[in-house]
Structure 1
Amino acid sequence: MVTDTGGIDDHSFNASTWAGMEAAKAANSAIKTSNVASNALTDYEPNLTNLVNKNCDYIQAVGGLMTEATAKVAKANTAKQFAIVDSNPGLPNVYPLEFETQEAAYLAGYLAAGFSKTGKVGTYGGLPIAPVTIFMDGFADGIKKYNEVKGKNVQLLGWDKATQKGLFANTFTDQTAGKKQSDTLVAQGADVIFPVAGGTGLGTAANAGTKYAVIWVDADGFATTPYGSVMLTTVVKNMTDGVKEALGKAATQKGTLLTGGFKGTLANKGVSLAPYHDFDSKIDAGLKAEVEALKADIISGKIKVESPSQPK
């Protein structure tokens, strides 16, 4: 596996993907795994090429930012099995693992609007790229739904779905930048903050205290960060099971390229809303029931949550 910037211990998408690799290894003793960190975008191509040269049978890339490099190396090594999270380069030897994250983020938006005492919730992203803005779009729609149902006017700070413009830290690693973004949102009145920024979001979580609650992304922040006490919930992107399944298949059909791809939805539990943990007793029972009802409506198709950034 080649990590995106942020490294294996980002408590987010790199860590979740690596957990899938390790889970596949635990299930099949023939699988041997290793990872290499990318410290900058320029590391992607040489890191991927290095794994080809080491004769790895399955090479996992992580994140949409790696699309171009993965496609280039895959085109030069057509017999080699690649996989990538959050992208689909459209190549026969690159297995795509994509997620309808806007579905689970919709539930988080509705929850945040109902939980907020100030009537203002905030979000910011790491970079303005599709795997980030898809979260923010779903979150915005969930807040909009709450306002429609309740006749309220809860404001979303940091993102405008209509214009696709908002607040970005321009990093997935700098916790100081995360604190700066959340300080800005708190100054405007936000008491729930949704950082879609990988490790950068740790700066938000570390400084939450009693000022605001945090909604985490990718992997359940209650379990994967030191800041469980401030985690209202997490919009989970189940990369772990998706990667475990893909690597497991690749190991059993070695020499034959994987076909199709993985697309995570609420229906197949590829995306989900994490348990409320320490906040469970603080959330109104009626609000919890409404979130569950919305989940059922999305799964049934009664509600369609869409984003310009969702997988095509």
Structure 2
Amino acid sequence: MKKLIVAAGVALSALALTLSSCAQPPGSTTESPGASAAPSSAASGGASDFKACMVSDSGGFDDKSFNQTSYKGLTDAKEQLGIQTGQVESSANADYAKNIQSMVDAKCNIIVTVGFLLGDATLAAAKKSPDIDFAIVDYNDTEKFPAVKNLKPLVFNTAESSFLAGYLAAGMSQTGKVGTFGGAKIPTVTIFMDGFAQGVDYYNQQKGKNVAVLGWDAAKQDGQFTGDFEDTKGGQRVAQGLISQGADIIFPVAGPAGIGGLQAAKASNGKVNAIWVDTDGCVSAEQYCSQIMSSVYKAMDVAVTDAIKASKDGSFSNEPFIGTLENNGTGLAPFHDFDAKVPAELKSELDALKGDIVSGKIKITSKSQPTS
């Protein structure tokens, strides 16, 4: 059975939102827990006849990570534009094609799919339905996508922002060891790990230190993975393994499985902290804010909303959106509870490093970086 959708904002504020109805495959739902069965304003004629829809990956819309942030883009568009919306949540990889088709059948004007793993199914659907606009978060096939005029990639160079996270982690570590792990060995995960490791290396070069990165070898492109994005207990086990090796700051890149890393940090009673990914963890997973030093955010909500606006006003194109430090499509979230703990000198260094990355003075080396 599919999980219920939790309507929760994640980028800058938490929002309680009413979900509109749409056609969906058997067993799916578009109601949040306790939601009224009464029609929404969109369903009762209070909104335009333009309909924007979304399909999650198997992490679901309540993953406190990239699905949830992308979903906020859909609900923001509904609020700002007065449009109808539809959504369906995937439970497994096998759901993707049929879930996308359900949105086609629901007569959506634009369908946004979320995640690298939906790439093939999204491409096939876009080619089959040229009158519908499609956008996909976190995937771009630079060979096949350009020929499909109704398919727009929304991708993010998180190696840049993860470089800053690695430098921050190295500067704050007391043990001289930091750790990272992923949910699956795919480019949208390893790009974070590459940038993180490069940031630690740069700190070591600048400071004459030898902070070690556990869980990822950038040269070998190999490291620690849970094997999926849903197994919170698995994430906790992997994180605990890194902690047992001496890591006192962990960087989980594993969606809901990464919550297990936050649980492991919390269980350390202050000895271990974390840096979250995709969204500001102090908003999306606020119960762990006291363990979250900062977060590498991706402005997926803004990118999704902008793609929907473009589709509605007729300016939609297949030109990829690439979020960078320069355009604020990615970056470091506020320090929150750690604001007074991060030294002013380290904060200044992070600001200078951002400028050096934007200017090209510092070259990011991850092979997983997106290209247009």
Tell me the equivalent position of 1:69: 121
Q: C-alpha deviations, 1:275-306, integer Å up to 9, x for none? A: 11101111111111111110111112211213
The structural deviation recorded for 1:258 is 2.4
Structure 1 counterpart of 2:370 = 311
- How far residue 172 of structure 1 moved from its aligned partner, in angstroms, is 0.7
- Asked if structure 1 preserves the Cα contact closer than 8 Å seen for 2:86 and 2:103, the reply is no
SS in 2 for 1:118: coil
Does the 8 Å contact 2:310/2:316 carry over to 1? no
1:7 aligns with 2:60: yes
The structure where helix makes up a greater share of residues is 1
Instruction: Specify the SS of the correspondent of 2:68.
Output: helix
Query: How far apart are the structure 2 equivalents of 1:250 and 1:165?
Result: 40
Runs of 4+ residues over 6 Å off in structure 1:
none
Match of 2:337 in 1: 278
Aligned residues: 309
- Residue type matched to 1:63 in 2? G
Please identify the structure whose Cα radius of gyration is greater.
Answer: 2
Please say which of residues 199-208 and 138-147 is displaced more in the overlay. Answer: 199-208
State the distance in 1 between where 2:102 and 2:284 align.
Answer: 30
TM-score normalised to structure 2 length:
0.82
Q: Indicate the structure whose relative CO is greater, using CA pairs within 8 Å and at least 6 residues apart.
A: 1
Does the aligned pair in 1 maintain the 2:229–2:254 contact within 8 Å?
yes
The match for 1:33 among 81, 85, 88 is 85
Report what 1:232 is aligned to: 293
Please provide the CA RMSD for this pair. 1.0
Any conservation in 1 of the 2:153–2:318 contact (CA below 8 Å)? no
Residue 222 of structure 1 is matched in structure 2 by 282
The aligned counterpart of 1:50 is 102
User: Residue 54 of structure 1: CA displacement?
Assistant: 1.1
Match of 2:173? 116
**Structure 2 regions of 5+ residues with no counterpart?**
1-53
Q: Deviations over 1:170-207 (max 9, x none)?
A: 11111101100111000100000000000111111123
Give the secondary-structure state (helix, strand or coil) at the position aligned to 1:208.
helix
Task: Look up the match of 1:85.
Answer: 137
TM-score normalised according to structure 1 size = 0.97
CA shift digits 1:50-84 (9 cap, x unpaired): 11111110000001111011111111112211100
What is the rounded CA distance, in whole Å, between the counterparts of 1:155 and 1:257 in structure 2?
Answer: 45
Quick check: 1:96 aligned with 2:96?
no
Amino acid at match of 1:24: A
Give the 3-state SS of the residue equivalent to 2:87 in structure 1.
coil
Q: Partner of 1:283: helix, strand, or coil?
A: coil
Q: What percentage of aligned pairs have identical amino acids?
A: 48
Equivalent in the alignment of 1:243: 304
Other structure's SS at 1:88 match: coil
Shift of 1:261: 2.3
Structure 1 gaps, min length 5: none
Contact 2:159-2:366 within 8 A present in 1 as well:
yes
